[in-house]
Amino acid sequence: VIAHRTEAVRLEPDNASARLKLGLALHAQGDSQQAMKQYQQVLRITPDDANALTLIGVVMNELKEFDKAIEYFEKAIQINPNEAKTHASLAIALAAKGEAAAAVEHYGQALSADPSFPLALNNLARIRATHPDARLRDGTQAVVLAKRCCQLTGYKVATALDTLAAAYAETGQFDDAIKWQTQAAEIAQVQQKAAMTARLALYSA
């Protein structure tokens, strides 16, 4: 795929769509730096390309350069205010900076644009279920969001089940919390398993 898309860019160096597709292919292979170069070339050709702005922000999030990421996401939202992925990506950057209230707002906007967006459902439910600031917690909403996320992902994603368990724990429904946390721990990847098992012990207690 990359060879074909590289050739397309060589033949038409000012084709923004070809460069965006090459960037996506590079990004999918884990080559964020080369992907970023293609996204920046897209902006050279079409400075108001909201997709390219969002994708550069996503790379900045991966590099933990959250302030820069936020700038790109905010520009993208000015151009295209109804793109769920951009709002959710901005929310991730804001949450990483400790700005959870602003993150909640943008997860909400992501879900207004796309009510079936598992990432936004899960991450907003997580904040509502577990945030240390009681003003941001809402266990009832967390359960609704987390259940929707689990339905959409077929109850097969450990992090979604983990969030659902946390939501039930926040509402005091510990039997349900134990049930879903057990399932989460069973299917968790190795690096997640210890933390999920520890939460299971907490709910059981």
The string of pLDDT tens digits covering residues 33-69 is 999 999 999 999 999 999 999 999 999 999 999 999 9
Give the pLDDT confidence score for residue 161 in this predicted structure.
98
Q: Which residue type sits at 12?
A: E
pLDDT value of position 169: 97
DSSP 8-state code for residue 134: G
Q: What is the pLDDT of residue 125?
A: 98
For 29-39, write each residue's pLDDT tens digit: 999 999 999 99
- Residues 180, 160: contact at Cβ < 8 Å? no
Average pLDDT of the residues in 179-186 = 97
Rounded Cα distance between 138 and 131, Å, is 9
Q: Which residue shows structure tokens 């923004």?
A: 16
Mean pLDDT confidence for 92-113: 98
Token pair 């990847």 is found at: 189
Q: How confident is the model at residue 93 (pLDDT cuts 50, 70, 90)?
A: very high
Average pLDDT of the chain to the nearest whole number: 96
User: What is the percent of the chain with per-residue pLDDT over 90, rounded to a whole number?
Assistant: 100
Average pLDDT over residues 59-84: 97
Going by pLDDT thresholds of 50, 70 and 90, the confidence category of residue 134 is: very high
Ranges of H-type helices in 46-187: 50-62, 66-79, 84-96, 100-113, 118-130, 139-152, 158-170, 174-187
- Do 127 and 110 form a contact (C-beta atoms < 8 A)? no
- % of the chain exceeding 70 in pLDDT: 100
Would you state the pLDDT for residue 85?
97
